[in-house]
Amino acid sequence: MEVQTSSLKQVRKTAGYTQAQLAQLTGVSRQTIIATERGDYAPSVYLALRIARALGTAVEEIFSLQEET
């Protein structure tokens, strides 16, 4: 399974946060946020929950699982 993060960037921008601000709110580096937005990094459940909470949304609105074919 692959984690899809395509909506993270859009949700972050809609919430009015920069990558650096979201990183600070969630306690990770800006590079982690960049990699997560690109789909290069699948966050832990704990980090996914922190990101969703910081953005005021549900984890399912940002991250989804896609079956690999």
**pTM of the full predicted structure?**
0.84
* Cα gap 60→69, rounded to integer Å: 21
* Cα gap 58→69, rounded to integer Å: 27
1-29, pLDDT tens digit by residue? 455 555 899 999 999 999 999 999 999 99
- Give the pLDDT confidence score for residue 5 in this predicted structure: 57
Give the total number of structural domains in the chain: 1
Here the CATH number for the domain that contains residue 56 is 1.10.260.40
